Amino acid sequence: MIKVESLEKIYPGRKGQAAVKAVDRISFEVQEGELLGFLGPNGAGKTTTVKMLCGLIRPNSGRIFINGIDLIQRRIAALQEVSAVLEGNRNIYWRLTAQENLEFFAAIRGLKPSGISSDIDYYLELFNLTEKRNVEARKLSRGMQQKLAIAVALISQSKVVLLDEPTLGLDVQASYEIRQLLKRIVKEQGRTVILTTHDMNVVQDTCQRVIIVNEGRIAANDSVDNLMDLFKVKVYRINVQGGLTAEQREALLGMEEAVIEEETSARTSISVRLEESQVLYRVIGILESGQSLIESIDQEQNNFERVFLQILEGGPQGA
Amino acid sequence: MNVCSCRSWKGVLKVRKKLLLLQAFFKKEFILFRRYFHNSIGGMITLYIIFLLMVGGFQGMRALTGLGGDTLEGLVVGYVLWLFMLTTYQDVWYTLRSEAQEGTLEQLYMSAHGFGWVIGAKVAAGFFTNLIMVAVLLAAALLTTGVTVNLDLLSLLPLVIGTLLGSAGIGFAIGGITLVLKRIDSYTQMVQFLLIALVAAPAGRVVWMRFLPCSYGSALINRVMVGGQNLTQIGLGNVAALFLVGLGHLLAGYAVYKACERKAMIQGTLGHY
C-alpha cells in the first residue's frame, strides 16, 4: 500500500545555521491493513517522514508510492488515498459542530454529505460522540476533539490513515479508548494506519510492526513481538529482609549484572539481569553468606519501552 | 461505454466535486455568519463608524477649502468599493493565515481538488457574504449622506468582479509571503491603506494607472455609479481591458503564492504559524 524508497530530507539552514538532515535515505513498505508504529526520540525525523507521506513537505530525493501512485509526480491523485491527523485536536474547525466538521471535510474530499449521512452516524456512534454531534468542537473535551479529528480523517474513506501522536496529552481513559478504536478500525475496515507516538503502551498495545528511527535513519524495522524476543533479558528482583552487610554490598557492587535498587533497615531490593544462570546463584550465595532472609524472587516483565531504549543505544545488531 | 462517453462522465464527476466544494464553503460561511451574527453586526457597525468619520473629515475639508462639489458621491462609492476589495483580499490572505494558525491548512492541502480550487471556492463563497455586508453598508451610507448613486446592477456586477480579481491577487501574494515569513501582521495591515490609494488613483485620466490592481475598475465603477453610465456606454473594450489587467494581477499574485508555497514545503513550515 505504501512504498518509500531512499527518502531524504535536508532542511535548509536559516540565519547562518547549518542545514539539518532530518531524514537520511530511508526505505520501507507498509502492507494493506497493517497498523505500523513509527517511533523515535524527538527530532528523529518521524513527523517529517509522515508529512512527506502527506505531500506537505517536499523531499530532497527519494520516491513515495501510495497504492502504486507516485506521490511526488501525481500528488493529488495519490492523496485521494491518504488522510491524516497531524496536529491532534487542531485539525478540526473549533467553531463548527462535530457533525458540521464531518460534513465539511467529507465535501472537500469530494464526498456528498447526503450520501454519507449513515457514515457520519456510524463514526459519531463509534467514537461515542452521538450526543455531542451538535456541539461546537471548541466546547468538547480534548479527548473528544482528538476523537473527532480521527473521525474526520476516517470519513474520507481513504485507504491510508496517518496519525501523528494521536494520544498526546490525553488522560489514561481517553488514550485507552483511542487505542481500542484504532485496533477496531484496522480489523474491521482493513485500513492501513501509520502512527507516530512517544507512548510505548500505544505501540505495545496496538501496533503489529514498528519502525524505529533515530537521527533520520531506520534503527529497527520488525514486528513488536520479534523485537521483544530479540531484546528479551530476564530480570529478577530479589527482596531481602533488612539491610546488607558491608561485605555483601561490596560483593554485589562488584557484579555488573546486579543493581541494589533500594536499601533500608527493613528491606533491600536487588535487581539481577540474568544473562547466564550462574549469576542468580552467585547473588543468592552472597546473600546467604550474610545470612540474609530472602522474602521473594520475582521475574520482571520485559516491556517495549526498555526495548526501544536499547535499540536507540545500539542494542542487539540486526534489529 | 466508449472512450468519449467515459471521458465526459469523468468530466461530469469532476464538475460535481467542484460544486460540492463550493457548496461546502457556502454552507460553512452561512453557518458561521448565523452562529456569530452579533460579531458580524459588530464588525459592520465599526465599519460604519469609520465611514462616518470619513464623511465628517471630508465635509470639514470642504468647509475649509471650498473644494468638493459632488465628490461626496465619489466618497461613498470609493468607500464601498474599498470595503469590497478589503474583504476579498482578507478572504484570501486571512484564510491562509487563520487556517495555518488553527491547524486546518494542511487538511485543506490534502483535499481532492488541489489547494487552488479550495481557496477559489472560499473566495467565491465569501463574495456573497461580503456582498450582503457591502449592500447593507452602502444603504446606510446613502441614507446617512442623502446622496444618490446609479445602482445599475447589470453594469456593476462585471465591473466589480473584474476589480476584485486584483485584490484577490494581492491576497494571494500576501498570503504566500505570510506562509514563508509567518508573523507579519503589522505589515499586512498596511495593505488596507494601499487599497485606499488604489481606489483613489485617477486611472480614468492617467493611463499608466490603469495597470495598477483595482484602479481602472474603480474608475469604471465611478462612471456607472456617479456618472450614471451603463455598460454599453463604457464599452466592451474597456471591460475586456479591466478583466485582462485583473486576471494578470490574479495570476501574478497566484504565482507569488505558489513560489512561497514551494519554499514553505521545502522549509517544512507550511502549516506552522
Q: How confident is the model at residue B68 (pLDDT cuts 50, 70, 90)?
A: very low
* Residue pLDDT, tens place only, A61-84: 999 999 999 998 888 888 888 998
Higher pLDDT, A95 or A174: A95
Higher pLDDT, B51 or B60: B51
* Residue pLDDT, tens place only, B136-159: 999 998 998 888 889 999 999 999
Structural domain spans, chain B: 16-267
- pLDDT greater than 60 at residue B69: no
Sign (positive/negative) of CA torsion A223, A224, A225, A230? positive
- Three cell numbers written together for B2: 466508449
Domains of chain A in sequence order: 2-229 (3.40.50.300), 233-301 (3.30.70.250)
Residues 105-144 of A with CB under 8 A from B: 105, 107-113
Choose the mutation target among A109, A136, A158 for the interface with B, i.e. most B CBs under 10 Å.
A109
Q: Is B151 on the interface with A (CB under 8 A)?
A: no
The pLDDT, as a whole number, for residue B217 is 94
What residue has cell string 521473594?
A296
* Residue pLDDT, tens place only, B94-118: 888 888 888 888 888 888 788 888 8
**What integer is the mean pLDDT of B34-57?**
87
- Residues forming beta bridges with residue A222, ordered by sequence position: A210
User: Which residue of B20, B27, B110 is in closest CB contact with A84?
Assistant: B110
* Residue pLDDT, tens place only, A101-127: 999 999 888 888 778 889 999 999 988
CB distance B79 to B51 below 8 Å: yes
- B98-129 CB burial, b ≥16 within 10 A, e <16: ebbebbbbbbbbbbbbebebbbbbbbebbbeb
Q: How confident is the model at residue B2 (pLDDT cuts 50, 70, 90)?
A: low
Q: Is A19 on the interface with B (CB under 8 A)?
A: no
- Three cell numbers written together for B154: 447589470
Residue percentage of chain A with pLDDT more than 70: 93
- Range with the poorest average pLDDT among A134-138, A277-281, B229-233: A277-281
Q: How confident is the model at residue A231 (pLDDT cuts 50, 70, 90)?
A: low
- Average pLDDT score over chain B: 86
**What integer is the mean pLDDT of A283-299?**
87
Residues of chain A found within 8 Å of residue B23, distances taken between Cβ atoms:
107
Length of chain A: 319
Residue percentage of chain A with pLDDT more than 90: 30
The pLDDT, as a whole number, for residue A299 is 77
pTM (2 d.p.): 0.79
**What integer is the mean pLDDT of B26-49?**
89
Residue A311 is given by DSSP the state H
- Three cell numbers written together for B22: 463550493
Q: Choose among B225, B46, B26: nearest CA to B140.
A: B46
Residues 6+ positions from B109 with CB-CB distance below 8 Å? A55, A56, B115, B270, B271
Classify A243 in phi/psi space as left (phi over 0), alpha (psi -120 to 50) or beta: beta
Report the alpha-carbon distance of residue A186 to residue A190 in Å, rounded.
Answer: 5
* Residue pLDDT, tens place only, A174-203: 888 888 888 888 888 889 999 988 777 788
